[in-house]
Structure 1
Amino acid sequence: MFPDIKSYQHSFFSILLPSLLMVFASILTACNNQPSPDQPLTRNGMISGSATPGTVVTAQSKAVQPIEIVADQSHVSSYANGKMSLTIITSPYAICNFIVSYGMNTPSKAFGIRPVTADAHGLANWQWQVESKALTGIWPLQVTATPINGTQTKRSISVTVNLPPLRLDTTKSILNVTSKAVATLAIVTAPSTDCIMTMSYPTHPKTFKGTTDAHGTIRWTWRVEGSTNPGTYPLIVTITTGSGEQANATFSMVVL
């Protein structure tokens, strides 16, 4: 005998229905557990959501360091064609530069004035030659520093330009002489500076001209006339800077 169809259908559905219910329950659970869409860790420079503070650092959150002058590593008093130096502390890796005009119409473009990048500690330094036409006086120098975030900071300081010194080089000068002997006057002043030396003998004044070398030295040698009487004679040296300013000093020659 064949089994009753109704009994068979009842048995089939009684087995299938619980399985289908378990499948539907699994699908609903999976849908409810889907991850939410990605959220930005920062918004407008602020940490948002559940992000851990300090995890993300934005350019806006970086502090800009003021420019500090390192006094013991800076020398900002010199003369035309002399040297100056400057060391600063600012934001690490900032692009640093400065401008100075020394009273001239345009900023100096002398060797050594150029942009530099601060190191990891924020140190930046320069050494440069003062413009040959720099005027004597106290002049402003403006330093700028542009860190990674682009926020520029500035600092103004004063630099001093003096007349060049005039110093006797005693190791190369021979100024105690007899008549008919060879005398030598050697001086040290600013590099590449025009010099005139005038010596006033009683009857034969003489003038020597020249330009100092890269070290600021110049030397004149001459023979003392046999007719020169014993005594002390002034040797007047006058220097002229690129701006036309002058300085002079007097040295003595002794004829024995």
Structure 2
Amino acid sequence: MKQLKRLAGLIKRRGSDWGRREHGSMVLEAALVMPLLLIVLLLFIMMIRLCAVQMALQSAASQTVRQVATHIRPADLAFQKASSSIPALPNLGSFGLPLPDWGGDLAKEAAGWLPAPAGVLASAALEGNWQPVTDAAATELGRTAVEPQLQQFADEAVLQKEHLSLSHLSLPDLKEKQQPFLTIVAEYEFPFSLPFINRKIVLREQASERVWVSDAAPAREDSAEADVTPIQIVSIQPVPLHPGNKATVTALTSPGASASLTVNYKSGTSIAKHLGSATADANGYVQWTWLVSGNTTPGTWELTATSASGETVSMHFNVTKKEDSAS
């Protein structure tokens, strides 16, 4: 069989050129796609960091407002002391007598005696620097008492203290007691750095806490409590009660006031005579004597006395048969 001769120069070898072109296209695709993938990956990382910073900021604000709120009580006492002492001596200054210097050395001593931040709070209340409801973040109280506490409770693994600051501070009203809430707003500058993007995102978290302060006015004695008629069960005789025998209950209430007695057994409320409403004597004692039914089930039952104002008092008693008590 005659072999065909290969014609040199008519068929070109294209294998090496094709491999080089395919390899070049893969490099081009990787060069285009890889930066996008890296940007997306960095974006996810920044979002996770942003969430962690926000949670840490909220935790720092919550712990700060709780810590400061627990130390408001000494400031409230100092404020009430200063407010009550100054009006009590209105004309001493005109006679040349010295008035108490609540804003001088005493305020400094209070700041030194009490732990932080109670000392600074009490000193501010004595010096008259207490500004309720308004924004006090830029005042000396906010910078020296609250903001250091905020930075102290910041998680250093997540938050950078130089980017953390106090944005808003609302103090409770120690005079009128209308707004007994301490509110702070913490601010954090989060550096959002990505390729072609270099901005700062400002995060703010608010926390409020009700402080422990005294009431604005003492409770009035002529309030609803004055209309309450007290009642107390003194005794029940005999002990224990026996079916078929009489029982006597003595209660104490206001003299001349009416009261009622109900007795509850297993079968329900007793309808025996001489139970129900009765009137107390001049000493406030009222008695009920009734016959315990012979069919009363032995056990522990309850009686309830009700005063004229609706106040109730209950007492348990035992009912046993005579042979059981004798044995």
In the superposition, the TM-score normalised over structure 2's length comes to: 0.29
TM-score (norm 1): 0.36
Q: Which structure: greater strand fraction? A: 1
